[in-house]
Chain A
Amino acid sequence: MPTAVRPVRIIVAKVGLDGHDRGVKVVARALRDAGYEVIYTGLRQTPEMVVDAALQEDAQVVGLSIHSGAHMTLFPAVVDELKRRKATDIVVFGGGIIPDDDIAALKKRGVAEIFTPGTPLQEIVDWLRKRFPDEKTPKR
């Protein structure tokens, strides 16, 4: 059904070298089912590639997934690249094998939220709804 406001558009990306895409695909499907516009970039995206995609697609949100342990380097690199391209309004969240201590550090570096293994999909959807309360998301 048509709405005045377009749905929130989310770039979902695998940064880093690992190819573990089970989680990212499940999350992408769940967000799509929840009414968001989801664009999955595929594997091995550099921070520059992710930001390029976000700007080209006019996305409001970037979701990052990583399982290789390089999150402390690559997640902040995406945030920094957004700053450099003056796109700090784009919200960055992430998920993967990320220890608790690192979560606090990543939030300090500008990552809005981290979802770790075992997170219910609904929790991610609820978080986005809270974050973008005014956006209409079409019901399927």
Chain B
Amino acid sequence: MRDDGIETSTISGIPLRPLYTSQDLPGRAEEYPGQFPYTRGIHPSGYRGRLWTMRQFSGFATAEETNRRYKYLLANGQTGLSVAFDMPTLMGQDSDAPTSRGEVGHCGVAIDSLADMEALFDGIPLGEITTSMTINSPAAILLCMYIAVAEKQGVQASSLGGTLQNDILKEFIAQKEFIFPPAPSMRLVVDSIEYCAAEVPKWNTISISGYHIREAGSTAAQELAFTLADGMAYVDACLERGMHIDDFASRLSFFFDAHIDFFEEIAKFRAARRIWARWMRERYGAQQERSWKLRFHTQTAGVSLTAQQPELNIARTAIEALAAVLGGTQSLHTNAMDEVFALPTDKAARLALRTQQLLAYETGVANTIDPLGGSYFIEALTDEMERQAEAYFKRIDEIGGVIPAIEVGFFQREIADAAFRYQQELEQKRRLVVGVNEFTVDDEPPIDILRIDPRLESEQSERVRQVRRKRDQAECSNALNGLRKAAAGTDNLMPYILDAVRAYATEGEIMHAMIEVFGTYTETAVV
């Protein structure tokens, strides 16, 4: 602690010394980017060969409105799409379901059927861009919708590129958008990985996510450890299915948070690559180099944004984005300053994208690979991250693995404890957040925020009812029956879901067919 009572440990509580020296790097061998264990990056040429992908997460209201935002972002120099779905879509229910009331189109775009997905990507050539879709429990359905839209555009599945979040374990751990129990949830994940390995080989089948774990309150080390542990659980599940490690490992991707504690984040990214490479090569025996390389997307920390003096969020986001770039991210989302209130306005969304462009083209930080490599401090902190992650792997193993640890509430308790500890540090002013618990102002002028038209819900509900009326009913119910039967057996469900999607079965209907077989999951809340 400093003389003025402010903590000097990292935001995650790692104690820091005032000075690091060569004593902190005893006997370290020279490491190079593009070489095992990739601490310094997965590409030998860093960002010189190719910059990170600027991928702003975006979606709101109807498919048509979001389609307009996508075209706006692409026209402004964005290089990849990233779809944000609304809560009913994320929870696998249609817009006209009773529990969708008040939620339609609010925190993302409302997608009920293939018809909406066609409108979402209207005029956007899916063979030429890559798309990330943040969806988990119903991930297989949305991927099938994407494949079906591509078919209609004349684009083959084999040439599609993009990423499906599809990470159900972190839903149980942190974000809580689970629907089915863990076992059938894992089956669906493995089904999609297996299917894509054969049919959609350029698709990143899963984005194993620490972001939500961190946003839920974890420390950086917990984010790192729990995410990589989840990754290994998926690897184990695919191996159990009979897949060969080198057939799917290179399509596993990761997603981390870039929080405000600058050096800690950079160390976390570097440690993540090193740990994953070692585990893939040494524990899983992967032979191909591409199976060892941890590729990741980063989003700046939503939780670090403040509703007070919100313009400050631009500065916070820029610093966090810099950490992601210095940590060697493959793609990046920068949050907009107004996201503490609502989804971003056009102007705020563009400012966020411009922040990335400024980093890429003005600051010069992308010119040299891993510029902080060899720093006594960064290397020591990278080692410390690795040590803490390994300690967590041991504890998770002792509990019996990731799913048993979820079932006993281990992750949930660790995260809730860390969140509460941090909040207490704020209350006691041992940590300061500018504009929140220090340097406050009394009078804050309101800022413009994006409003969702309340009529949208009834319009979208009418639209899904119309889809249900107009389709070939026999084809649709045959497809749903086929899916139900397959769910009760052991077939890969992807072809059945694709059939149902093509027949314009709605998302809610497809989910329901599976719920009839799989049941649903309720967690025991840990406070």
Contact B88 A121 (CB under 8 A): no
- Known contacts A17-B99, A70-B101, A97-B341; A25 and B308 CB within 8 A of each other: no
A-B residue pair count with CB separations less than 8 angstroms = 108
How many angstroms between the C-alpha atoms of A93 and B209 in the bound complex?
33
Contact with A along B484-511 (1 / 0, CB 8 A): 0000000000000000000000000000
Per the bound structure, the CA–CA distance linking A73 and B100 in Å amounts to: 10
A18's partner among B87, B303, B341, B419 (CB-CB below 8 A) is B87
Partner of B90 from the list A17, A21, A32, A99 (CB cut-off 8 Å) is A17
Chain B residues whose C-beta falls within 8 Å of the C-beta of A73 in the assembled complex: 101-103
Give the distance in Å from the alpha carbon of A99 to the alpha carbon of B340 in the complex: 9
Which size class do B's interface residues fall under? 35 or more
Give A105-121 interface residues, CB cut-off 8 Å to B.
116-118, 120-121
The reply to whether B106 and A19 form a contact with Cβ atoms under 8 Å apart is no
Q: Do B87 and A99 touch across chains, with their CB atoms under 8 A apart?
A: no
* Number of A interface residues in the complex (CB < 8 A): 39
A130 beta carbon closer than 8 Å to chain B: no
B416 interfacial contact with A, CB 8 Å:
yes
Q: Is the CB of B436 within 8 A of A99?
A: no
> Once the chains bind, are B87 and A97 in contact (CB under 8 Å)?
no
Residue B452 is within 8 A (CB to CB) of chain A in the complex: yes
A25 B99 Cβ-Cβ under 8 A: no
Residues from chain B with a CB closer than 8 A to the CB of A29 are 416, 420, 527
Contact with A along B216-241 (1 / 0, CB 8 A): 11000000000000000000000000
Q: Could you mark each residue 77-100 of chain A with 1 if its beta carbon is under 8 Å from any beta carbon of chain B, else 0?
A: 100000000000000000001011
Q: Which residues of chain A are within 8 angstroms of B454 by Cβ–Cβ distance?
A: 72
**Among B170-178, B243-251, B394-402, the stretch in contact with A:** B170-178
Contact with B along A116-131 (1 / 0, CB 8 A): 1110111000000000
Q: A70-B87, A100-B446, A117-B306 are in contact. List 20 more A-B contacts (CB 8 A).
A: A16-B102, A17-B91, A18-B177, A19-B171, A22-B215, A25-B419, A42-B523, A42-B525, A44-B99, A46-B99, A68-B103, A69-B107, A70-B102, A73-B101, A73-B103, A99-B341, A99-B342, A118-B308, A121-B427, A122-B427
B interface list, Cβ under 8 A from A: 87-88, 90-91, 99-103, 106-107, 171, 175-177, 215-217, 303, 306-308, 340-343, 415-416, 419-420, 423, 426-427, 433, 436-437, 446, 449, 452, 454, 522-523, 525-527
